[in-house]
Structure 1
């Protein structure tokens, strides 16, 4: 199921919510089902997979978003898997489920007296509560835009959240872009009772990503990582006949493909606009793995349409709308496989992608190579001072807070500081890093995962519970630049490691490579009269800056926004002129901030004109 919305009471807004759900790209043909209860209704957009359709008997409804599974279970070829889960979830006691549930999901059970929701261990699939301006709880669900309609919060924008999206491309947990709508806890069992009056709300957390009491030795942790990858791949594909892996030219998707049982019918799917270094590398990897390889082709205008139209319509305002898996739908591959697997979140959980830069410097300085470099600089009279990373980098975005008005900047910093203090209770030494991506719904690139999960049966290997538990044990020094995880990955992908890593230009086993080097796979020339300049790249994405500057589609949007009332909203957030930011690409700001500004302005403008 793509989404559910719980509505308390019976106001006449159900048709607006049904329209909101069905108008989203890729989901237009999905049936929306309304289940009535004494306290209100549940609105469900049904899944493509028949195994996970909602189950209801005379008194109780069980439904889900995503792909909840009990470890070891085969959900395929079971036309009512949720009925099996219902047997293990009797009388408001889900204890038989909580230790074994895995994947990205939100699980819902309700009757006329009580509503229960279970969120996945790391909160990859968000669930929100919605309060009306009066403070009354009027709804819950997985789609903020539908809840905004329900709670009359469509244009009640949270300025601090909008500012966070501009600077960091994410919003601090538990807030959303609207006042009165907040995310519930990850890894929690939620109960809403007293449904004949004012609903009561309780949470019980069943999973917390605590730091280990003692550091796990490197060799032991590496072996645990290898075993967790292999067991996760076997478990996710249990009972599966056809499986696809979204394969790039890098390491993370390669390890997913290599970990799959050889007995499966495996297909590697590579997103492509043109043949280039990455597509050639992916073909070599698939061939060496003995898997079928195919492309999910994208048009020249794919990315502009995705970022300005389809992505925001699918995922709303809460995150950057880079739902790259839309090309799976475009190529009619969404019904071809039992499940599609990806390697997303590997960098986040295992490779220190959000590790604070000062912590990285300290850890690197402790190494003999860096100590030698510092000594040489001292002898030569050169400064050993370390400068912050570029504001274009994930860990350097904090510098963009300078673009906010002082009072907004102070609120953003306070909000994020408070979140770090909360995470510190579980992860004393890694709170600053984990606050950036836990719950996983707050990771700034999670649109890849959430978009895929709405559109077709999808899982990220690294959201399997065995890998989550392993990632929890990694210390900062073990996550630094992914050195330990990449060694574990090389053990899994074996001979596939002799093929170049398209991101470094070196064989994949050269996990310590920092700079491009010569390789047997060379850059491809991308020519032709119809080729857009921003698509002449050697990776699987796009030249985001060139696209924003040159594509007529972006200029059209800028013209439409030139006199929009949304400029007044941004005037209360930004130091720069909102009108100037709309008129042309700002060279002083990174591409991510320029893009996020136009995306938000466009979405907010539409809401203000409704």
Structure 2
């Protein structure tokens, strides 16, 4: 039986089962969503989404095959199937699932190989007795699965799998340790035994008669730098960026941009042109907020300042709980407190996420020096990694110290056990790469399903149709051809802004203090001198010590200046006591060390994210959900005022 209904209690996402009952989620979503369900003797499916992206589902092909899609398909490239047409954008009048049905009718299941978009989907072939689950090239939408006995259960929420009556799980302390340190486990692993993510760029086919599971991987990132002038990359990048905006922009939709004071989101505004809405979030009208306001006004766009109140982080503990999948922090649903302000003004929201990852030096090992009180100096010089042991060494070097919350296992051992050569390929936590270069330069975003910003993307996808232009296949392919020297010592984003809108490029970057598009030496030296001046000379005192001159809260100071963190720990003390690997006195000591001047934000925030997850509470043997016991100062006294 297949049905369509208004979403009332179903989170935007995809859930399904073969041979078992459907996994469910407690989360609720905005009233503007729609949901579809099917349940028969073989397959149960539940999907909820935004009607702007997809209409009634499933769509049935002439062959009697059902298709379901969550997310958005941007277009199709026939080259992976031997064609010569190249990329064709999805027509604006076709929703994503209807477009996929047309592609299936022409190419069969292999149409997935040529999809361009951020999506996951299902192909249910009743005659062949098969259900296939496909993920996009980067795995941008996480989908978790378990195989309890016969059959399979899967969902976009890990809690829905862990809470399934057929699933027995416990914490894998090695992967939990990785999450505590890196804000994510790597690859397709999760901290829960027996639960993993589906591979990126894959088609997983379940045989309904024999419970077989076959995984076909249709794409992998291959870093192949091209020896070409930097200007040639600027030309191609600018052309592709404007092309993809021209393809999907519609006159009947209102567009919004999450705008910072930097260049990545500024490029979105330059490509969109006038008439959009620019949103900036901060706790006060900071230097970055003023820069964002100027960018919006000078590009003839509306500027909307979204002011975070004092309790924004504390309220996020409950508000962002549905988006926690053991990657990222509860704080990273940055915009969830402004849902009504955003959705009432725009139909589609854009961000500049992953420009740093794909086109700058964000994930490239580089030389760095500790200059003591002056700060750290990172030089735009690549640290060459040639072997797996060197890669493991680098991961250990960039990891924050984990001495404050002792774990019963060794982090290095977990990394060494999960990164190895196998049949001429490198396996990194279940994901394969062809070379050490592919491992080093691509594992930071392949797969994106275990990225440490997943909570941010999940929360935006829940709120509104959301797009990150830099994840278009055409831009990803370009990044795989760009030499490392251009990513470290040039800036294709700045150059593109200057090409598209010189006015916007002339506005000083909020951090650098210079306009965009200067030569690398000028930009690099200017950035460092400006940072030193602001740190040691300038009088830029925010109205509260936990606020910063940027758009983010200074969480290090917030924990010291407000007792919300300790109150949250108090209210979850029973969860701590129910976890064998965690000792309350270690948590207290870690917190106290932070109050005394040590920066333990990573450990403290990751720990609190873990404790507030319903799965953690169930595994600890305590009541799961929002109804937590009240804190009691007599039981767990907050440190004396003088120690803060």
**One fold, TM greater than 0.5?**
yes
Distance in 1 (CA, whole Å) between partners of 2:490 and 2:578 is: 42
Corresponding residue of 1:472: 480
Larger mean CA deviation between 283-292 and 475-484 belongs to 475-484
Deviation sequence 1:443-466 (CA, Å, 0-9, x none): 222332232122210000111111
- Which residue, 173, 176, 195 being the options, matches 1:181? 195
Match of 1:311 among 314, 317, 320: 320
Listed as ranges, the matches of 1:25-40 within 5 Å are 26-27=29-30, 30=33, 32-40=35-43
Q: Distance in 2 between matches of 1:462 and 1:357?
A: 23
Contact 2:139 2:449 in 1 (8 A): yes
SS at match of 1:265: coil
Cα distance, 1:557 vs. partner?
A: 1.0
CA deviations over 1:425-460 (Å, ceiling 9, x no partner): 434325224223321222222332232122210000
SS of 1:69's partner is strand
CA distance in 2, matches of 1:473, 1:429: 12
Gap change, CA 1:396 and 1:509, over 3 Å in 2: farther
Q: Kindly indicate whether residue 576 of structure 2 is the aligned counterpart of residue 571 of structure 1.
A: no
Q: Corresponding residue for 1:353?
A: 362
Using the size of structure 1 for normalisation, the TM-score is 0.82
Aligned position for 1:168: 182
Indicate yes or no: 2:562 matched with 1:551: yes
Q: Which runs of 5+ in 1 are unaligned?
A: 368-387
2:367 and 2:382 in contact (8 A); partners too? no
- Is the CA contact (8 Å cut-off) linking 1:342 and 1:459 kept in structure 2? yes
The residue number in structure 1 matching 2:399 is 398
Give 3-state SS (helix, strand or coil) of 1:418's partner: strand
Deviations 1:468-505 (A, max 9, x none): 11111123222215545543443344221111111222
Secondary structure at the aligned position of 1:305 is classed as helix
Task: Give, in whole Å, the separation in 1 of the partners of 2:382 and 2:574.
Answer: 54
SS of corresponding position for 1:6: strand
Are residues 1:203 and 2:215 paired? yes
User: SS at the partner of 1:503?
Assistant: coil
- Partner Cα distance (1:212, 1:516) in 2: 35
1:279 is aligned to 289
Q: What is the number of equivalent residue pairs in this alignment?
A: 561
CA contact (8 A) 2:143 2:197 kept: yes
Q: SS of the residue aligned with 1:506?
A: coil
Preserved contact between residue 418 and residue 427 of structure 2 (Cα < 8 Å): no
C-alpha contact (below 8 Å) 2:329/2:455 kept by paired residues = yes
Aligned partners of 1:245 and 1:268 also within 8 Å: yes
Q: Deviations over 1:295-350 (max 9, x none)?
A: 233332112222x222232233333231112144142x225423211100011111
Q: How well do the aligned residues superpose, as a CA RMSD in angstroms?
A: 3.6
Structure 2 unaligned regions, length at least 5: 1-10, 77-87, 370-376, 384-389, 624-644
- Distance of 1:554 and 1:44 partners within structure 2: 36
Structure 2 partner of 1:192: 206
- The answer as to 2:362 corresponding to 1:344 is no
Q: 1:109 to 1:425 in 2, by over 3 A?
A: closer
Q: 1:201 and 1:441, CA in 2 relative to 1: closer, same or farther beyond 3 A?
A: same
Structure 1 stretch displaced more, 308-317 or 180-189:
308-317
Residue deviations 1:37-62 (CA, integer Å, cap 9, x gap): 33131122232536444234495432
Which residue number corresponds to residue 127 of structure 1? 143
CA deviation string 1:333-380 (max 9, x = no partner): 22542321110001111112121235999985699xxxxxxxxxxxxx
Select 1:253's aligned residue among 260, 265, 268: 265
CA shift for structure 1 position 246: 0.9
The structural deviation recorded for 1:398 is 2.4
Alignment of 1:444 with 2:449, yes or no, is no
1:191-234 CA deviation, whole Å, 9 max, x = no partner? Answer: 222x13x4222222222211216434433223222222222222
d(CA) in 2 for partners of 1:524 and 1:514?
Answer: 17
Distance change in 2, residues 1:239/1:605 (3 Å): same
Q: Which residue of 2 aligns with 1:514?
A: 527
Aligned to 1:596, which of 599, 603, 606?
Answer: 606
Alpha-carbon shift at residue 287 of structure 1 (Å) = 1.5
CA gap of 1:577–1:347, structure 2 versus 1, over 3 A, is: same
Do structure 1's residue 291 and structure 2's residue 307 form an aligned pair?
no
Is the CA contact (8 Å cut-off) linking 2:286 and 2:542 kept in structure 1? yes
Specify the SS of the correspondent of 2:343: coil
Please tell me whether the aligned partners of residues 228 and 470 of structure 1 are also in contact (alpha carbons under 8 angstroms). no
Partner of 2:415 in structure 1?
Answer: 413
Q: How many Å separate the matches in 2 of 1:3 and 1:359?
A: 41
